Amino acid sequence: MTTTQTPTQPTGARHGLRIFLIWLILSLAATLLIWFVWKPHMPPGDMSDAARHQQFDIAVLAVSAAPVIIFVLVYFVYSIVVWRARPGDESDGEPIYGNTKVAATWIIGTTVIVLWLFVFGTVELVGPAGAGAGEGPSPIWKLSGVQTASWTAGSNDMLQVQVIGQQWAFTYRYPQFGGMESAELFLPVDTPVTFHVTSLDVIHSFWAYQLGVKADANPQVDNVAYVTPKALGSVTVRCNELCGIWHGAMYNFGHVVPQAAFQAWASGVQAKERADGILAALPPYALTYDPTVIPQLGKNLPKIDGITGAAGYYYPPSDPVTP
């Protein structure tokens, strides 16, 4: 009588140890690669404090996710290699219900992961330079910096910049420079900046990519966002809310420049706009604007059928004009 010899299989504990060791080595390698090789290149870069936070968050989430993904893949490959059915083996796999160790590991592991993500995400959203409660129409904390009526290079004065969205361009007003307005975004480096984001028509979204700033531009809403640029360079500003046929072309480039250069630029624009008369032609600086009312109109302007209403009203929503 002949007996069939089967290859010696490791016990369950040795399978677990093998999988654990493979997983540990690969996870360690992946974590080191993510943190030291990939992280410096992760979006949106490190041009501002907010961008650095976002880059850090993305790297932490990647490091958190890597061991989970690696475990799934290791288990998958190990199962295929070690536990695959041999030719002639028609038997079922071993039932594992009631395995307390497996159930406990699963419950504890997933609970730790979810709680970790909850705590980390909440802290990062609420904390300074986060993207949550610290920003928006009613921010609960303020960026450190001195609120002043004017801005001076070399001080800790906070720079106020109003972002105005309109189909299909952003313009920027600087209330500390007489309310001058520019089609180009200039910011001083190492300066706390408060953006006041609003719109004159539909909903836009101000996305200064390399600065890690994204804020909806809603009509009649002052949406606040904070940033402190930490490096010189160019910033891509895009609209991130579908706002019409040329939404995709609604972008331009901002510049982070030395503080003295910023002061020279802003003062120069202010002086030119004052000399040209455009500064006086702009409406008084306000956190929001009602584009249906233009105070300057209506005084000497006759009603133009199909264009303006009485008393300076302008495309009044209650009286849409049909051409």
| Site residues (vs other proteins, CB under 8 A) | 164, 166-169, 171, 181, 183-184, 200-202, 244-246, 249-250, 252, 273, 276-278, 281-283, 291, 294, 296-297, 301-308, 314-315, 320-323
Cis, bond preceding 44 (omega within 30 deg of 0): yes
Q: Give me the least distance between CB of 168 and other proteins, in Å please.
A: 7
Q: What Rg do the C-alpha atoms of the chain give, in angstroms?
A: 30
93/302 with CB nearer other proteins: 302
41/299 with CB nearer other proteins: 299
- Whole-angstrom Cα distance, residue 125 to residue 46? 18
31/167 with CB nearer other proteins: 167
Which residue in 67, 74, 75 sits closest to 28, CA to CA? 67
- Whole-angstrom Cα distance, residue 234 to residue 211? 10
Q: Give me the least distance between CB of 175 and other proteins, in Å please.
A: 14
Q: Give me the least distance between CB of 290 and other proteins, in Å please.
A: 11
Whose tokens are 């209330």? That residue is: 175
Overall size of the chain counted in residues: 323
CA separation, residue 263 to residues 18, 144, 230 (Å): 63, 20, 17
CA separation, residue 195 to residues 45, 82, 100, 122, 238 (Å): 20, 59, 55, 23, 15
The pair phi, psi for residue 141, each rounded to 5°, is -135, 160
Q: Give me the least distance between CB of 271 and other proteins, in Å please.
A: 13
201/222 with CB nearer other proteins: 201
Q: Give me the least distance between CB of 101 and other proteins, in Å please.
A: 45
205/259 with CB nearer other proteins: 205
133/297 with CB nearer other proteins: 297
- Whole-angstrom Cα distance, residue 301 to residue 64? 64
Taking the CB of residue 182, how many other CB atoms lie within 10 A of it? 17
Q: Give me the least distance between CB of 255 and other proteins, in Å please.
A: 13
Q: Give me the least distance between CB of 300 and other proteins, in Å please.
A: 8
25/278 with CB nearer other proteins: 278
118/315 with CB nearer other proteins: 315
On whether the CB atoms of residues 238 and 146 are closer than 8 A, the answer is no
Query: Which residues, including other chains, have CB under 8 Å from residue 75's CB and lie 6 or more apart?
Result: 19
Buried b (16+ CB within 10 A) or exposed e, 151-168: beeeeebbbbbbbbbbbb
Q: Give me the least distance between CB of 67 and other proteins, in Å please.
A: 37
Give strand pairing partners of 305.
none
Q: Give me the least distance between CB of 170 and other proteins, in Å please.
A: 9
85/249 with CB nearer other proteins: 249
The tokens describing 310, both together, are 């009485």
Taken in order 178, 187, 215, 251, the sign of the CA dihedral is positive
